[in-house]
């Protein structure tokens, strides 16, 4: 019998994780779409909604990762559901790329480049600051308890 015929599929036994990511991703993407409907971006305007969604999502990821790796013993599906699913579906780096191209195509190259670099910086800063703030608040809570 062929060796490949006997090996299990890589995702065998992972259906609960795949389901958690899929459901979370649908919820996160719906929330992102809703944000775009509530705060639409005009053509050639700065995409504040996409920037805000990405910064909020990255900050939320920083908080989540501290809580589930340093505070709680989380259920094995919590991280895939919340992190990869909801926050992965909510943050929108594909729209970030499209917004950058849209600004450049509209002749707003300096703004497109500022948005390109600024979003990356803001997203990374949001993760770092939210993680640090969460740890600080947890330490304060432990000291006063």
Per-residue pLDDT reduced to its tens digit, 71-124: 988 899 999 999 999 999 999 889 999 999 999 999 999 999 999 999 999 999
- In 45-107, the DSSP E strands lie at none
Distance (Å, rounded) from C-alpha 85 to C-alpha 30?
A: 12
Tokens coding 84: 């990869």
Helix, strand or coil for residue 95?
Answer: helix
Q: Decide: 98 and 76 in contact? Cβ < 8 Å.
A: no
**C-alpha torsion 65→67→73→77, nearest 10:** -50
CA distances in angstroms from 30 to 83, 91, 98, listed in the order given: 15, 11, 18
- pLDDT-based confidence at residue 25 (cuts at 50, 70, 90): very high
* 9: its two tokens: 């599929």
pLDDT in tens, 52-83: 999 999 999 999 999 999 998 889 999 999 99
């Amino acid at each position: 019998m062929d060796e490949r015929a006997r090996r299990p599929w890589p995702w065998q036994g992972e259906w609960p994780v795949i389901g958690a990511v899929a459901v979370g991703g649908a919820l996160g993407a719906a929330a992102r779409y809703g944000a775009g409907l509530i705060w639409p971006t005009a053509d050639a305007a700065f995409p504040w909604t996409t920037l805000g969604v990405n910064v909020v999502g990255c900050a939320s990821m920083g908080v989540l990762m501290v809580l589930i790796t340093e505070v709680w013993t989380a259920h094995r599906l919590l991280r895939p559901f919340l992190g990869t699913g909801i926050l992965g579906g909510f943050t929108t780096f594909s729209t970030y790329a499209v917004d950058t191209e849209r600004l450049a195509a509209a002749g707003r190259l300096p703004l497109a480049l500022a948005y390109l670099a600024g979003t990356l910086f803001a997203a990374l800063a949001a993760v770092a600051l939210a993680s640090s703030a969460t740890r600080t608040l947890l330490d304060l809570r432990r000291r006063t308890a």
